[in-house]
Amino acid sequence: MSESIELNKNPIIIFDGYCNFCSSSVDFIMKHDKKKLFLFAASQLPAGEKLIKEYNFNNVDSIVLVYKNKSYRYSTAVLKISSLLGMPFNISSIFFFIPAFLRDSIYKWIAKNRYKWFGKRITCRVPNEKELERFI
């Protein structure tokens, strides 16, 4: 990773590299990100740790989106990612009308149980050669 991450260019998704659900979410986003807009950083690796420190996150137990010098967590991050993916995923933006505390309570419940329901990897998700340029 370069000394300074260009936060204005591409949205960066920080994810739990050990979580099967989170890694599957990264796979889904990469598959549907036709413009190759998103970059990815596992929270357990140096680039993710640097972003977590830079944005003063105490505990990253979910996917975090960093875009245009702002950070988004929990359900807001998911909805923002969906909106940036374009059609048909941006339709999920209608859920912004639900108050964040309600959306986030559901999100946090899923995040709390993600290892139990979806499993946990022994090692952090490693990008294959084709994906390498998308990981920081």
Task: Supply the pLDDT for residue 136.
Answer: 85
d(CA 17, CA 73): 16
Residue 5 falls within a domain, yes or no? no
Instruction: Enter the pTM of the model.
Output: 0.83
Domain count of the fold of the chain: 1
> Tokens representing 52?
């977590």
pLDDT above 70 for 130: yes
Sign of CA dihedral 72, 73, 75, 79: positive
Q: Is residue 3 part of a domain?
A: no
For 61-85, the pLDDT digits (tens) are 778 899 988 889 899 999 999 999 9
CA distance 75 to 92: 11
In a domain, 96, yes or no: yes
Decide if 1 is inside a domain. Answer: no
Pairing of strands 64-67, 12-15: antiparallel
